[in-house]
């Protein structure tokens, strides 16, 4: 099982329920393919550095999870098929990135 992190940007014209449905869809997809969620964060509506699909903002979300390597291919295909997703990036974390992500999560919990 490898440790992964996915950041994805959803279309800013979506309603709150559509955003929740989309996030739930991808979370369920991971869990059904043998992944274990470590953390998920909603970063909210943010301005984009450059326009994507003529949009200047988007809803950012972060998933941190452990999954077998063969689950990532179909997971990314789902992102490409979903028109609500403007961009996504999945990266495998090494031991240093895992430690940094853990430190960042504890800082966020301390602030809340």
The 10 Å CB-count burial string (b at 16+, else e) for 29-51 is: ebeeeebeebeeeeeeeeebeee
Q: What is the mean pLDDT of residues 85-105?
A: 95
112 has a pLDDT exceeding 90: no
Whole-number Å distance between alpha carbons of 59 and 8: 8
The residues pairing with 41 across neighbouring beta strands, listed in sequence order, are 62
pLDDT at 47 (0 to 100) = 97
pLDDT at 111 (0 to 100) = 78
pLDDT at 63 (0 to 100) = 96
The pTM for the full model equals 0.91
Per the structure, the complete domain to which residue 71 belongs is given by: 2-111
Q: What is the pLDDT of residues 13-69, one digit of tens each?
A: 999 999 999 999 999 999 999 999 999 999 999 999 999 999 999 999 999 999 999
Token digits of residue 68: 């077998």
With contact defined as beta carbons under 8 Å apart, do 23 and 61 qualify? yes
Number of structural domains found in the chain: 1
Distance (Å) of CA 100 to CA 28, 40, 91, 93: 26, 15, 14, 10
Q: Which CATH number do you get for residue 32? A: 3.30.70.60
pLDDT at 70 (0 to 100) = 93
Task: Establish how many alpha carbons lie within 13 A of residue 101's alpha carbon, considering only the half-sphere containing its beta carbon.
Answer: 20
């Amino acid at each position: 099982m490898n440790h992964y992190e996915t950041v994805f940007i959803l279309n800013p014209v979506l309603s709150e329920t559509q955003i929740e449905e989309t996030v739930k869809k991808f979370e369920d997809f991971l869990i059904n393919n043998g992944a274990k969620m470590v953390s998920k964060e909603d970063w909210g509506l943010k301005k984009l550095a450059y326009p994507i699909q003529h949009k200047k903002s988007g809803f950012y979300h972060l998933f941190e999870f452990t999954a077998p390597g063969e689950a990532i291919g179909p997971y990314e295909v789902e992102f490409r098929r979903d028109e609500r997703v403007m961009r996504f990036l999945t990266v495998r974390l090494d031991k240093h990135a895992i430690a940094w992500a853990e430190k960042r999560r504890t800082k966020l919990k301390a602030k809340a």
